[in-house]
Amino acid sequence: MQVLLVEDDISLAEGLQQALNHEGITVNHVAKGKEAIYVVETFPPDIVLLDLGLPDIDGLEVIKVLRKHKVTIPILILTARNSVKDTVSGLDCGADDYLAKPFEIPELLARIRVLERRISTTAESNEIIIGPVSLDTTSMQVKIDNKTSILSKSEYMLLKALMQNAGRVQTRDHLESQLYSWGEEISSNALEVHIHHLRKKIGVEFIKTIRGIGYTINKTNS
């Protein structure tokens, strides 16, 4: 899982980054509101952890802009402004949850798990069809031109991550962190090997390589 941490207190950010990495969560960190908006819209994370008091624009403004742009990624506010008024404005602007500083790491992890469960229940409920490939996330079945294809767990999870985010580039780090969080040992070329096997099964052209960055699947693959 990938989290974007928006926090201008660098030592707090480093501590959180370490604690979350330890749980197998990949953390990208930015310190400013405008950067946060850019990153969320360019490399969408699974969850955003957002401080409200930021050096450029207010965290509440970040939430407003993202929600106005139809970004539905869960946002968890982390802030010292623990007054009722700020909690209410944050939630009214479209945040999903609120944690007042100082907080304990286990509580943060529990809140992240709640948001994660919410993402997977919405994401798991449908069949994704792109071109000749259909992926049923309930039965974990993949069909190519209506014929069932047997994929390994890692191949399945990679294909699912790419198809659920079709049209968006999935960075190498992100995909590797997904493999890692599924309990896979990561050797330096593990990702390439899985992609190679996947391409053999579903067609070489289906997954595009974005050199130096990662992989993507076009929304309209034929």
Residues that bind Ca ion (CB under 5 A): 8, 51, 53
Closest CA to 110 of 14, 39, 20: 20
Residue pair 36/12 in contact (Cβ under 8 Å)? The answer is no
- Cβ within 8 Å of residue 200, ≥6 positions away: none
To Ca ion, the closest distance from the beta carbon of 29 in angstroms equals 13
Nearest residue to Ca ion, by Cβ distance, number only: 53
To Ca ion, the closest distance from the beta carbon of 27 in angstroms equals 17
Q: Give the C-alpha separation, 95 to 86, whole Å.
A: 11
Cβ distance to Ca ion smaller for residue 8 or 136: 8
To Ca ion, the closest distance from the beta carbon of 131 in angstroms equals 45
Cβ distance to Ca ion smaller for residue 15 or 167: 15
To Ca ion, the closest distance from the beta carbon of 7 in angstroms equals 7
- Cβ within 8 Å of residue 209, ≥6 positions away: 195, 215
Cβ distance to Ca ion smaller for residue 8 or 173: 8
Cβ distance to Ca ion smaller for residue 6 or 163: 6
Q: Give the C-alpha separation, 98 to 75, whole Å.
A: 9
What order do you get walking across the sheet with 97-100 strand by strand?
Answer: 26-30, 2-6, 47-51, 75-79, 97-100
Residue 46's Cβ-count burial label (10 Å; 0-12, 13-18, 19+) is buried
Cβ distance to Ca ion smaller for residue 8 or 35: 8
Cβ distance to Ca ion smaller for residue 51 or 96: 51
To Ca ion, the closest distance from the beta carbon of 80 in angstroms equals 7
Q: Give the C-alpha separation, 113 to 85, whole Å.
A: 26
Q: What is the DSSP letter of 213?
A: T
To Ca ion, the closest distance from the beta carbon of 200 in angstroms equals 49
